[in-house]
Amino acid sequence: MSFAFRPPRRGFLDRGSAGRSPDYFRIADDSPSYPSLRDLLYPQGMIFATHKRLAFHIFVPFLFCAFAFASEPGTFDRTLPVSGSVTLDVRSDPGGVYITTGSSPNVVVHAIIKPLYGRLDLDIAEANIRALEKDPPIEQVGNRIRVGFVKDPALLRAVTIRFEIATPRATQVLAHTESGGISIDGIAGPAETVTSSGRTEISNVEGELKVTGHSGAIIIRDAGADVSVHNGSGAVQLQSIRGTVEAETTRGRTEISDVSGDIRATTHSGSIRIDKAKGAVEAHNTSGSIDALQLSGSVHAETTSGAIRISQVTPAPIRALARSGAIKVELASGGGYLIDAQSNSGKVSGRGTTALARTKDVHSLKGQIGSGGPLVDLDTLSSKIEIE
């Protein structure tokens, strides 16, 4: 117990008997403790906060200077003369690949090398940056060019490389990234890309496209030939395709519009929307809706859990099956159709109902619209069907 002088408080002093004055100011064992003068002037929390602020002001400038010194990005540039069609094979692990058409008849490569933050091996990053600058990973045999294929994988430790490449239009591309985006614009093609994690964006390519992604969005615009897309997790957006389309994703929405060829779209979780398709459409969805609108060709749509909505501008066969979800079909104006629609637990109704032969109850319709035509075969196990 501390015996620093504290003012006595009434009710907490053991007064003792009348003849024992020395014991008058004896502190009782159950008396409350009082802060010392040091505690009053320098509370423990204030001292701790002061120390933290002091450490922050000392450490942060030091850390900033260390990063600024060691994080100086590296670059290299190469101009590769070519004549005729070019085959370009690019790899970035990690980083990104960005390919465009250039005004020069040559292939021009610009690389940006940066350290990967979050690690303490900045010395290794600095050494690897300088080594890659000194000996860029570029190989050329005639019109065949390989970029990013590093002979010693240790040189990629703690760094990221972004390749920006300008090439003649007559170029076909193979591009691969482990972690980073891929962008291709304006080449003749064909092109094939693979990325483990990153966004892929391709536009204005005349040749065939094969695109594989594991995590990240895939966007393709203005493609002049067939397009094949396989994505693990991420949205798929395809627009203005002058060929056939095959699009598959495990998880993520799929949007396809303005396609001249046939379309096959599959997803396990996410919505599918198809607009202005001129060819046949086939869409399968495990968990999510299907919208196939303004179609000129036949359509086959199936979903395990989700609604189906279809509209046509030209009469063509329609097959729609929803195990758990409503079906709504808008038929081509003035067209003739044969109708066979049934629902296990929902009403079937819509345009032309009076011209159809209703079977047993409100759960089915079968008959002819107009002078007849393509078959419209609709089934749902658990919802309604509307025909307009």
Model confidence pLDDT, tens digit, residues 232-264? 999 999 999 999 999 999 999 999 999 999 999
Task: State how far the Cα of 334 lies from the Cα of 373, in Å rounded to an integer.
Answer: 11
153, 188, 223 - which closes a domain: 188
Position 380 in a domain:
yes
Question: Is residue 342 situated within a structural domain?
Answer: yes
- Say how far apart CA 42 and CA 257 lie, in whole Å: 71
Q: Which two tokens stand for residue 121?
A: 């091996």
Decide if 141 is inside a domain.
yes
**Residue 204 counted as domain residue:** no
* Domain membership flag for residue 39: no
**Parallel, antiparallel or unpaired: strands 290-295 and 308-312:** parallel
Among 188, 215, 248, where does a domain finish? 188
Choose among 290, 292, 306, 270: nearest CA to 382: 306
Domain count, the chain: 2
At which of 146, 162, 188 does a domain end?
A: 188
- The verdict on residue 370 lying in a domain is yes
The structure's pTM equals: 0.78
Q: Are 144 and 195 within 8 A, CB to CB? A: no
Asked whether residue 135 is domain-assigned, the answer is yes
- Token reading at 300: 């086959």
Q: What is the DSSP string of 281-317?
A: EEEEEEES-EEEEEESS-EEEEEEES-EEEEESS---
From first to last of its 388 residues, what are the pLDDT tens digits of the chain? 444 444 444 443 444 444 444 443 344 444 445 555 445 444 554 544 445 454 445 444 444 444 444 457 899 999 999 999 999 999 998 889 999 998 889 999 999 999 886 455 678 888 899 999 999 999 999 999 999 999 898 888 888 999 999 999 999 999 999 889 999 999 999 999 999 999 999 999 999 999 999 999 999 999 999 999 999 999 999 999 999 999 999 999 999 999 999 999 999 999 999 999 999 999 999 999 999 999 999 999 999 999 999 999 999 999 999 998 999 999 999 889 999 999 888 788 876 544 455 555 778 888 888 889 999 999 998 889 999 8
Alpha-carbon 222 to chain mean position: 21
**Cα 368 from Cα 276, distance rounded (Å):** 26
Which residue segment(s) compose the domain that 179 sits in?
72-188
Is residue 174 situated within a structural domain?
yes
